[in-house]
Amino acid sequence: MTIGYSPCPNDTFIFYGLTHSKIDLEGIELAPPVLEDVETLNGWALEHRLDVTKLSFHALGHVLDEYCVLSSGSALGRGCGPLLVARTPLDLSAPGRYRIAIPGRLTTAALLFRLFLSECAQAMDGPVSRVPRTAQERPELVEMRFDTIMAAVQQGQVDGGVIIHESRFTYQQMGLLCLQDLGQWWEQSTGYPIPLGCIAARRSLGRERIMALEGAIRASVEWGFTHPEQCLPYIREHAQELAGRVVQEHIGLYVNDFSLDLGEEGRAAIDAFLKRGRDAGILPDSSFPVR
**Dist. CA 108–CA 123, nearest whole Å:** 22
**Dist. CA 64–CA 203, nearest whole Å:** 9
Q: Which residues contact 234 (CB under 8 A, 6 or more apart)?
A: 12, 16, 20
Q: Which residues contact 210 (CB under 8 A, 6 or more apart)?
A: 68, 70, 201, 203
Residue 99's φ and ψ, nearest 5 degrees, are -110, 120
> Exposure string (b/e) for 174-211, b if CB count within 10 Å is 16 or more?
eebbeebbbbbbbbeeeebbbbbbbbbbbeebeeebbe
Polymer length in residues for the chain: 291
**Dist. CA 188–CA 117, nearest whole Å:** 15
User: Catalytic residue numbers?
Assistant: 165
Amino acid at residue number 162: V
> What is the C-alpha radius of gyration for the chain, rounded to an integer number of angstroms?
19
**Dist. CA 55–CA 44, nearest whole Å:** 10
